[in-house]
Structure 1
């Protein structure tokens, strides 16, 4: 079964098994989909597709470079995950209802390897995304009602993903961890002759010196 077929089957399964939020109306204009990678562990996102609660598919809701830090002195730490991850590089998913599923296919450039992962978003997570919380916001120095409308996904070697929801003034909450699978066709669905995008010289120097800390994510 091809990826489109697997995606359709998983959407149908989630539709039959899960509850749905009955309206596309949200307490904010749109939710945000962002990605980041650990220090030096560079990735290239070929596509990130979102499926909302109405089974609408928003293809390439995000693609390209994930947020990353690559200090040239090689003193950055790629192990584990940050206690408070930032929103990541991404986009607002305009016109979508709350998310039910995120599909992401990416190149892990330090290996190199191409992975894909299906990240289900639970009903509990969706309810948390529309629950307003009173919080003092240091950004503008006042109390506001904030929402965890930012869906942030970390991508790591070995196909590991971790997902949080957060708001500009609210601490993020971890909501999912998945391990993706290798895309047998390779990068770009096999159209690049097996060639991945190049790794930066800084990240290459780090990996050659310290290796890839598998098992830390």
Structure 2
């Protein structure tokens, strides 16, 4: 093997090591999830992520948020949960920790289309990097856990609350964000102003009780 080939191989291996350790987090991927209160259905058109390496991940999440729609109006949509769930979502594979998250969604009970940019501060990323000793009942022993998930709660009126959490760790609320109305309407104006339909069970609740906007202030 010539010196030139040796140098090329070493450079390749070093670049692989650098790439493998370039992420600033102690796990392979983090999770992005969304929730909505009972009956307050939302449709996420897109959630795009920009990580701290300035790499963009379009449509890191889209579709429905985690929600309950109990029959006979027996649910309770009012107020924020005492302990938030991370919600329905996906792992943002290949990304470093987030710098910002762009979300455009439809609030189906209003109906209205909102958009916002969630700027993730360094303090939140530090929470996601920090390992904590925790006892998981299903494992029967203590482990080092990480808050490797971001949960975003979306409510009518365009308010979003953000938590970070992880397996066996209590979620921590990190911020509240007020979105703006997208004047283009649903799907950036490409749907003729037509939002996705509200389910019959949610429609029945809203027609009887209305939308409890004041409970999410």
Q: CA deviation at 1:54?
A: 1.1
Corresponding residue for residue 200 of structure 1: 199
TM-score by length of 1: 0.88
Partner of 1:36: 35
**2:46 is the alignment partner of 1:47:** yes
Task: Report the equivalent of 2:9.
Answer: none
Query: Would you say the 8 A contact 1:119–1:176 is kept in 2?
Result: no
Say if 1:49 and 1:58, in contact at 8 Å, map to a contact too.
yes
Secondary structure at the residue paired with 2:213?
A: coil
| Residue deviations 1:11-54 (CA, integer Å, cap 9, x gap) | xxxxxxxxxxx941421110100001000000000000011001
CA distance in 1, matches of 2:24, 2:178: 32
Taking the TM superposition and a 5 Å limit, the aligned residue runs for 1:1-40 are 23-40=22-39
| 2:148 match | 149
Preserved CA contact (<8 Å) 2:24 2:97: no
How far does residue 124 in structure 1 lie from its aligned partner after superposition? Answer: 0.4
- Asked if structure 1 preserves the Cα contact closer than 8 Å seen for 2:128 and 2:164, the reply is yes
TM-score normalised per structure 2: 0.88
Equivalent position of 1:164 in the other structure? 163
Q: Which segments of 5 or more consecutive residues in structure 1 lack a partner in the other structure? A: 1-21
User: How do 1:164-183 and structure 2 match up within 5 A?
Assistant: 164-183=163-182
Identify the residue that residue 209 of structure 1 maps to in structure 2: 208
Deviation, structure 1 residue 185: 0.5
Aligned to 1:85: 84
Q: Matched residue of 1:158: which SS?
A: coil
For residues 177 and 48 of structure 1, the distance between their equivalents in structure 2, rounded to whole angstroms, comes to 17
* Count of paired positions: 196
Partner SS state of residue 92, structure 1: strand
Distance 1:194 1:204 in 2: 19
Question: Residues of 2 paired with 1:167 and 1:56: CA distance?
Answer: 24
SS of equivalent residue, structure 2 residue 76:
coil
Deviation string, structure 1 residues 28-86 (Cα, Å, up to 9, x no partner): 11010000100000000000001100111111000001000010121111111111111
For 1:190 and 1:139, locate their aligned partners in 2 and report how far apart those are by CA, in whole Å: 48
RMSD of Structure 2 on Structure 1 (CA): 1.1
Structure 2 unaligned runs (5+)? 1-20
